[in-house]
Amino acid sequence: MTNRERVMATLRIGALLILVASLAAEAQPQVSKPSRVGFLWTASPVAAASYREAFADGLRQLGYVEGRDVTIEHRYAEDRIEALAGLATEILRGGADVVVTQGTPAARAAKQATTTIPIVMVNVGDPVRAGLIASLSRPGGNVTGLTIVASELSVKRLQLLKETIPKISRVAVLWDSAGASLDPDGTLEAAARSLGLRLQPLEVRGPKDFESAFADARRQRAEALLVLPSPILNYQRTRLLELAAKNRIPASYQAREFVDAGGLMSYGPHLADGVRRSAGYVHKILKGARPADLPVEQPVKFELVVNLKTAKALGLTIAPAVLARADEVIQ
């Protein structure tokens, strides 16, 4: 074989090897990078633990494997509203494809940080009033998700208070005027009249008003307290529970966290269920859906929780009919 023939043979072998390597590479499955989800929590890591697991469980039910299909970056404000803006920016700098937020302040901070990255809000009060979306059915913009607003809930809590303490006639209503409306459509007042109750509004705009509000309740001889939903009231629940205990006033709250911490009773949306359902929004968005086209959902699962230890401390006997309907009774 001449030198020229040897060179040509070498070139042919080299070309064949390159072709084989190229075909082998094309035959390999294309491995896509995991989608990045940022979760902005208003709560602390401890308070969010069960909800974090609910979100992970929701993704697992949809076939996602964390680390393979999706990575989740959690950031916690630990009830410091002023920290949310910086944490939202931090999540976005990390390259999040979707941002999930817990609570109204977190959703607002995320929306202020981006108008393009999709945002899935969870357990938000009134997202329309908060300026997060245009409407429940057609959110518009880059925000969608789940609200905990259901117009009949405050009426239901009032009915449960009357059923629990049949002799009451005056009920104080604690409400945060900066974050909610007292009774926009008059349904609460109408329900009170039908139950033979007189409502005594206690307006607050922050923790500095709590002492005077409870003093007003005592002065007006309120026999029970209805606490309306509000982010500030929720984050300040330890102080509210202290004042309720100090003034020996039985109170009904929107979330079981109050009852777990010593409140008398709560009736409201199952918050963990809402967080679990938010995984469905994340799934749809990662598959190409636009937040503007995904209607905001309202609660579908509710829970009644009663604390018998607190009832005993207040000298109350909870009606058997109420206990029979309770999803959980804390002894």
Main-chain phi, psi angles of 198, to 5 degrees: -110, 125
C-alpha 254/C-alpha 271 separation (Å) is 10
% pLDDT > 90, the chain: 68
What are the pLDDT digits (tens) for 43-76?
Answer: 889 888 999 999 999 999 999 999 999 999 999 9
Q: What is the largest CA-CA distance in the chain?
A: 114
Whether the domain at 35-148+270-300 and the domain at 153-269+303-330 fall into the same CATH topology:
yes
35-148+270-300 falls under which CATH superfamily?
A: Response regulator (3.40.50.2300)
Please give the CATH number for the structural domain made up of 153-269+303-330.
Answer: 3.40.50.2300
Domain map of the chain by residue range? 35-148+270-300, 153-269+303-330
What are the pLDDT digits (tens) for 148-186?
Answer: 876 578 899 999 999 999 999 999 999 988 666 777 778
pLDDT at residue 28, rounded to an integer? 44
* Lowest mean pLDDT, pick from 38-52, 131-145, 178-192: 178-192
> Which residue is listed with tokens 């009904």?
252
